[in-house]
Each structure stands twice: as structure tokens, then as C-alpha cells.
Structure 1
């Protein structure tokens, strides 16, 4: 085992990394101060997009059992501000759970959502170094599928997300690196990415608090619970292990979030050392 080593990115007191855990604990624990206003089941090998207002809570769930979901998120009013997976990995970790935040791209640089609950938070690190809710990898896509197999397939996560966001005026150029919800991954001894069978059971969930108004999109991965290989010499169609995902949105009692404010964008002026000359 390697010795533990301190993380590179550390914030001081009252920085956005020094979150008020008591605030998010109240949201998680005070279940009688929320009202579910929407519940949707997303069919297998498809995508779904939805908006969430700042101060609301939403969940991604496994209503029928183990299934991986590829998740994208944008500022609902400006899609140029969207999840920055690599910076989130640096600030929060390669895999995320309660109190972790999903951070937005430059020049905005602020938390889009904060994770408030996770029914699989105790998964920990397995015997292969795998962890759950992954920011290491990205979405499966038809372009790499064509390269690896010589065949076209239109229901990879990239395509599912593309179809889901079209009604919101977005295209595949807006689809970005994902949070792989319910997915167990890690790096092997060759430093190569591996995926393991999803451990989620019926009723598991990952819950988020919207820090700003957000547009979200979710793909029910065509690999299902990832128990069957999609590529390589043993590849097969894993449709038999594909299941739907659920999306739920909740209003919170205003008293529960009294005093909370949406985070502001980074105050950096953005000059990058440049000066204007006449």
C-alpha cells in the first residue's frame, strides 16, 4: 500500500471547500420538510433532461435494481457553464459522495450542486481499489464503438444525452465528461481504467442540492449494470442486465434553507495579465 499523501488543492476557512456540513445534514435528515414535486422513470438505453431550481433537491434512483447512469449538468441559463469533471476530481476526489460538490468550468468556477445523501456511501474501497460514483472515466460513445468494433450503435450514453438535451437547444457539442452514478471503477496495476458490476439494489439513490438553477441530463447506460463486457474478445450485448433509472425532484420548506444563498462566480477579474493600450 502507498503511504497517504496530502491533497494538492486545499481551501482555507470559509472557502467553498469548507462547507457548512450542518446545513446539508439538516436537508438530509429533515425529511418531513420536503415535498416531492416530480417523479420520472427513465427507460433503458435512453436519456432524459430536466431542470432544477436553486434551493431544490433531486435524486437519481434505481427503481428496478442495479443500473449505471451517466450524468451531465449545466447552468440552466447559460450552458457554457457546465460540469468540469477534471477540476472536480482535483477538488473533491475521483469518486464522490456526501458533502462533495460538482464544480463548473472556467471562468465561472463555482459549485453547481452539493451531494446531500448517498444510500451507497458505505461502499468504500473494495479489494481491487474500486470505488463508487465515478469521475475517472467518461461516457461511452458511438465513435469509439465504431473504432473498436467496426459497427454503429446509436444508444451509447453520448448519443442518449445528445437526444435528451436537443429540446433545450443544446447539441452533442454541449455534452461533456460525466459523473458515472452508481458505477464502480478504479485504475489497475497498469494504470488502466476498469469497471466493475454495479452494486446498487432496488431503491438506492444519490441526492443533490441545487446551488444554482441547473439543467441536468441522465443516460441509462447501454451496459446496464456492467456485469457483462461490452468490448473485447468476450463482448456481448448486455441488454439483459439493463434497467431503468429514476429521477425525483423535491421542494424544501423555506425555513430549512433560510439564510442560504447561491454561490457567486469566481471573483477573479479575468485580465490574465493583459493590459489595454491606446
Structure 2
């Protein structure tokens, strides 16, 4: 099968032209970091936390393979949040070191940049699967009810809903996720598939916060996804569920000297609408 060029190409000086040396130093020069917060998210639960701009946060597999579903918002305006679809287009359907997570319109800027990925060497497996998935989204009780007729209250969507309530957010703020440590792909019928999680104890994915963030993570009730969740052979995979850890670090000020948060997208064109005319009248 021939390769085909990506639609969104990186040109020098563009928003996609990343300063890899800067982010490489953040990943490599860890001696000056200060641990700000560390906590464990038990199985089939969720938790939200804040990350100031210029800090890094790390998601860690503590005891072995486990998938986590991640949401990210602007801490000061939750209307700005992770835009999984545009991130897929700009970066890839699976992300790794030096990829960025982009925010929704009309903001459209990097929320976070991946600085370290212990599973970067996974590459593409024999089935075409890759790790850290943006193709799919969170499991939820609505689909589960449709497929099984049963209520289950600890899907990732529900875990995320509960986790953000203390921050004034609701179910309507929960959005499409980055599936951390999850291997997925599309089969020959163009159908989404999930494979066993490859993470082992100590594996991690690390992010640099480009703006002040609110993050939330669910420990997926499917655990390491080695057990079918729906269809023939489905059973409760609680035996393959494990906790995840989160660490937040303040960086050595020298590492981020001269850095500043990216501004929102510069487009201010008004979408072709003119205030001096009726809203239905458009033109150049």
C-alpha cells in the first residue's frame, strides 16, 4: 500500500513548527524539578486536578497495564478544551513525544505538549495498532445500556463527570478523550479495534502545560482491555483493572526562561458577517 502525504504540512515558522530543543530539555533536565503533587487514582474512578502553565504532569502505570481516559480544559474558561478531532488531523490519530493537544474553536492553540513517552518504541504492531489513542472516545453508560440492557455507573464518562463536579463543571463539559496507554487501530473493514494495553509498571506519558489547565483522568473499567467488554465472550474485567498515578512538577525556572503561553488563534474575521447589514447579508 502506497503512503499518502498528510493534509496538514509543517512549514518553518508555522504553528506546527515545534521547538524540539526546548521540549527536549524539559524532558531531559529533570534534576531541577520540584514535585508539587502526587496521587493515585484507584480502579474504576476518576479525579481532576490543576496544572499551572509552565509545569509538567505525568501519568504513570503504577502496577502494570491500565488504560486511562484524559480530558483537558483551560482552567479559567472550560469552553476551551481538548479538541480530539483537530488534534488527530494536526498531529496524528495516536500521539507521542513532541505532539501537541489542541483546543477547540475559536481558541485553537496548544493546551499541552507531550515531552516524554516511555512507550514511544511501541510503533505499529502487526495489526496496525498504535498506542495513546485519539481515534476512539470514552466508554459511557449510554452505549453500554444500548448494547447490554444493563446499567453500569463506572464507565469513563461517568468517572469523569463525578471528578469535575467539585470544579463547577458538569456532564456537558466532559468531552472526547485522549486514551492514554491504549492501543487501537482500524481493521480492513474500517472498524475500530482495541488491543491489550502494553504498559508495564513505571511506564509514563508526560505533558508540558502550555496554559493553566484543569485535567481529569478516569481509570477505565476495562482495565488493560485484555477481556472483551461487549459481544461474545464478554465478562466483567475487574481482575485486569489497576490504578494509575499522576505527578505534577514545577520546573527549574531556567528551563522556561523566555517561554510564554501561546495566544489564541489570530483569526478575527467575523465569518463574513457585517454588523452594518442584517445578519443574513454576507459578502466580501
Task: Tell me if TM exceeds 0.5.
Answer: yes
Report deviation, 1:270.
4.1
Deviation readout 1:219-247 (Å, 9 max, x if unpaired)? 00000000000100210000000000000
Q: Which residue in the other structure is 1:133 paired with? A: 132
**RMSD of aligned Cα (Å):** 0.7
Structure 2 counterparts to residues 170-181 of structure 1, below 5 A: 170-181=169-180
| 2:222 aligned partner | 223
Q: Provide the aligned length of Structure 1 versus Structure 2.
A: 277
Q: Structure 2 matches for 1:100-179, cutoff 5 A?
A: 100-179=99-178
Offset from partner CA, 1:1-49 (integer Å, 9 cap, x none)? x211111012421122101000001001101021111110000000000
Matches within 5 A, 1:253-272: 253-272=252-271
Per the alignment, residue 198 of structure 1 pairs with 197
Structure 1, unmatched stretches of 5+, are none
Aligned-partner Cα distance in 2 for 1:258–1:52: 18
The answer to whether structure 1 residue 8 and structure 2 residue 7 are counterparts is yes
CA distance in 1, matches of 2:208, 2:150: 40
Equivalent residue, structure 2, for 1:88 = 87
Change (3 A) 1:199 1:83: same
CA distance in 2, matches of 1:11, 1:120: 24
User: What CA distance in whole angstroms lies between the structure 2 residues aligned with 1:265 and 1:4?
Assistant: 33
1:22 aligns with 2:21: yes
Give the Cα separation in 2 of the matches to 1:270 and 1:73: 27
Q: What's the counterpart of residue 64 of structure 1? A: 63
SS at match of 1:272: helix
SS in 1 for 2:31: helix
Provide the residue aligned with 2:281 in structure 1. none
Work out whether 1:188 is the aligned partner of 2:187: yes
Question: Match of 2:250?
Answer: 251
1:189 aligned counterpart, secondary structure = coil
SS in 1 for 2:111: strand
Stretches of 4+ moved more than 6 A in 1?
Answer: none
Give the Cα–Cα distance (whole angstroms) in 2 for the partners of residues 124 and 236 of structure 1. Answer: 29
Provide the rounded CA distance (Å) in 1 between the counterparts of 2:81 and 2:52: 15
Distance in 2, matches of 1:31 and 1:12, equals: 30
Counterpart of 2:53?
A: 54
What runs of 5+ residues in structure 2 fail to find an aligned partner?
278-284
Distance 1:188 1:136 in 2: 13
